[in-house]
Structure 1
Amino acid sequence: MDFTPHDDLAAHRDAARRWGAEHLRPEWVADERLRGDHHHAELHRLLADQGLLAAGWPPEHGGSAVDERFADAVFDEIHDYGLASDGWITTWMVLKTLQRVGTEEQKRAVIPAALRGEVIIALGYTEPGCGSDLAAARTRAVRAGDGWLIDGAKMFTSTADRATHVFLLTRTSAPKHRGLTFFLVPLDAPGVEIQPVHTVGGQRTNATFYSGVRVPDGARVGDVDGGWDVVRIAMVFERGTRNGNHRPGLLDRVVADRPDLLSDPGAAGTLARLRIDEEVARLLTARAEWITRNGGLPGVEGSMAKLYTSEAAQRQHSALLDLLGPEGVLDQRAPDAPVAGEVEFAFRNSLVDTIYGGTSEIMREIVAAGRLGLPRSRPAT
């Protein structure tokens, strides 16, 4: 595997830059940060209308003729511009999971609609008091005729206020790991309530509540009591995607804004180490994406990428704040904020990087067992 940017990809990067110059608007970034939304509806509609969401997907699932490499370059450009696309990232994770474990009806109905921008899916995993222990889920789903009734609560259901559906982990029987079942629940269903939760990173996430929510059995994803197998697949795709808070290009913008940093040997050394971090993170992520694109599941590779990239992002943003000094904590509303306040925003936003998608401790256990062959630190259940 060779992840060197070859000349045949340079054309896509140049085309993506031209696309960004034509379509991306600075007010979208400011609006997204001030409102705390990590999903911009106008941008999402644009990507859908131009077939960029559907790039690389098979025609039978609504795929477009857009070159997947160009679409990848466009998403890089969007990310580098300072815009998030969390709504699409979580939707993509669920669509990839449906490809593996969904019914034919779900594949025909949900995937094409999502690629057209009509369906956006949030993740309903974490519960109050359960932390990262997904197997401790208490949200109940019980049989009710030919469907199910769901009662419970989820925490950190990000983009639920913008989404159409939630990929909901529920408990359908008593055993901890073998009593879980997934459902794709419409967020406009009677009995669903969404309450905002504003975070120190500036993002709006949500608490969601489910009171007697009725869904048909066709909304079930995977086998009854087979949710643990489904979540293991879904988490592989989550960890194998690009970390949402890692900001390629931020180093260049800081140096362009403060070129005097390069004249200080200590500061220059720090910037060099951060650049190495960026390159290692890029290579690890590229390997996980390559495995996914070729039909594999990057289990250990995705965990390696998630672990390194999330910790590298925190190191980078903390170090840049130190280099910028007191001015570094100015946000975008301050006229003299370095890099328009992006470093301050990135630092706050990256605080949760090592928690989302599994903590660093869990990632280290997966790598230790799956790649190094070390024994598990606790017995499997």
Structure 2
Amino acid sequence: MDFTEHDSLAEFRKAATAWADEHVDPAWVDLEHTTGTHHNPELHALLGAQGLLGAGWPAQYGGTDVDPAYALAVFQEIGARGLRMDGWVTTEMVARTILHVATEEAKQEIVPAALRGEVVIVLGYTEPGSGSDVAAAKMRAVRDGDEWVVNGSKMFTSTAHMATHVFLLTRTNTEVSKHKGLTLLLARLDDPGVEVQPVHTLGGQRTNATFYSDVRVPDTLRIGDVDGGWGVMRVALVHERGTATAPGGPTLVEQVAAWARSAPGADGAPLLDDPTVAEQLARLAIDEEVGRLLGLKVRWVASTGGMPGIEGSMQKLHSSEAEQRRVDVLTDLLGEQALLAGDAGPLHGAVEWALRKAPVSTIYGGSSEVMREIVAERRLGLPRSRPIG
């Protein structure tokens, strides 16, 4: 793979900037921070209506003729303005999984609607008491004719209060090992028996606890085989760990370095003139560049028809642990200023916000321990450290 530095989206940057100037309301950034919800329904609907969500997708499932490179440039410009699109990130992840493993009926029902911006899908994996061990799911789904009756609860169902569907990991067989008795269902969040309660996190995000009481899901919205949910999860996690839309804009380290060029240090000289500070920022920049290159490898494997399971695990492991190293160094570097939120702190409190959200980075999407096991076993050929239960 050629890692030569070039901007493959350069010809689309001007048009993407013009699009964002016209359509992106700067007030949306403040709204995200005050509500803790990283999904804007107005923006999402607009992206769907203009065919940007469907760029590059197969035409038979709702793909549009919008150039995928232009769409990516728009997404990156949105990210550069401080907006996140978590609703699209999870929807895209599940829609791509559906294309890999679902029935033709499910593909036709869900994917085109998702690309039009009408369907927003969130993840229902984690349960109270099971943490990142998703295979320990106890939510029960019992077959009743052409439907499944679902009972149980999920934790950290982010964006559920603004979504239409949830991708539920359920227990359909209690007589086999935990990895073999799972089935994925796509449930509507406005159906009777579904309850969504807010959970506000240390990082300022609103996530949710969701509860399901005799919720009925048609078998047509079963994604993958009965009791074959672990295989479906492996496909979904590949898309979660690196193939989602890349954010745009300068990195946090780049922002801090730009700030340090003029911010005075203890001796009154610019902070970046201190060789120790420059070295620390350089090391962090190297971490970020390694993460970027690993992410490019993941997207390259996916774009050539592969399933970058190992590559995604490598990228997720490095980037999440680098994020925690980054906030530790930046907190030491900025001192008490790193703890100032919003306009009271440097860079509008970007370091303070990163400090609060970093602890969870090595847990969601698969813990660092699990990522190390995947790399050790599947890339290095080492024996399993623990049996499949």
Q: Is the 8 A contact 1:243 1:306 kept in 2?
A: no
Structure 1: segments with no counterpart, 5+ residues: none
From 167, 174, 191, the equivalent of 1:189 is 191
Identify the residue that residue 210 of structure 1 maps to in structure 2. 212
By how many angstroms is 1:271 displaced?
0.9
TM-score (ref. length: structure 2): 0.93
Distance 2:325 2:78 in 1: 23
Identify the residue that residue 66 of structure 1 maps to in structure 2. 66
Q: Is the 8 A contact 1:246 1:313 kept in 2?
A: no
1:361 aligns with 2:369: yes
Identify the residue that residue 44 of structure 1 maps to in structure 2. 44
Identify the residue that residue 291 of structure 1 maps to in structure 2. 301
TM-score (ref. length: structure 1): 0.95
Identify the residue that residue 345 of structure 1 maps to in structure 2. 353
SS of the equivalent of 1:161 reads helix
Identify the residue that residue 339 of structure 2 maps to in structure 1. 329
By how many angstroms is 1:244 displaced?
8.5
Which amino acid letter does the alignment assign opposite residue 192 of structure 1?
Answer: V
Identify the residue that residue 159 of structure 1 maps to in structure 2. 159
Distance 1:16 1:278 in 2: 24
By how many angstroms is 1:256 displaced?
2.8
Identify the residue that residue 146 of structure 1 maps to in structure 2. 146
Structure 1 residues 8 and 258: CA distance shift in structure 2, 3 A: closer
Identify the residue that residue 304 of structure 1 maps to in structure 2. 314
Q: 1:93-148 CA deviation, whole Å, 9 max, x = no partner? A: 10110011111111111101000100000000001101111111110011112211
Which amino acid letter does the alignment assign opposite residue 42 of structure 1?
Answer: E
Q: Is the 8 A contact 1:243 1:309 kept in 2?
A: no
Q: Is the 8 A contact 1:12 1:73 kept in 2?
A: yes
SS of the equivalent of 1:122 reads strand
By how many angstroms is 1:254 displaced?
2.1
Identify the residue that residue 115 of structure 1 maps to in structure 2. 115
Distance 2:18 2:255 in 1: 19
Distance 1:247 1:296 in 2: 28
Structure 2: segments with no counterpart, 5+ residues: 262-269
Q: How does 1:247-262 map to 2 (within 5 A)?
A: 248-259=250-261, 260-262=270-272
Which amino acid letter does the alignment assign opposite residue 339 of structure 1?
Answer: L
Distance 1:220 1:311 in 2: 35
SS of the equivalent of 1:132 reads coil
Structure 1 residues 20 and 153: CA distance shift in structure 2, 3 A: same
Which amino acid letter does the alignment assign opposite residue 342 of structure 1?
Answer: A
Distance 1:7 1:186 in 2: 40
Structure 1 residues 266 and 58: CA distance shift in structure 2, 3 A: same
Structure 1 residues 242 and 329: CA distance shift in structure 2, 3 A: farther
Identify the residue that residue 26 of structure 2 maps to in structure 1. 26
By how many angstroms is 1:23 displaced?
3.0
Q: Is the 8 A contact 2:80 2:247 kept in 1?
A: no
Structure 1 residues 135 and 321: CA distance shift in structure 2, 3 A: same
Which amino acid letter does the alignment assign opposite residue 379 of structure 2?
Answer: R
SS of the equivalent of 1:353 reads helix
By how many angstroms is 1:59 displaced?
0.7
SS of the equivalent of 1:158 reads coil
Aligned length: 379
Which amino acid letter does the alignment assign opposite residue 109 of structure 2?
Answer: A
Identify the residue that residue 132 of structure 2 maps to in structure 1. 132
Q: Percent identity over the alignment? A: 60
Structure 1 residues 37 and 211: CA distance shift in structure 2, 3 A: same
By how many angstroms is 1:325 displaced?
1.6
Q: How does 1:211-226 map to 2 (within 5 A)?
A: 211-226=213-228
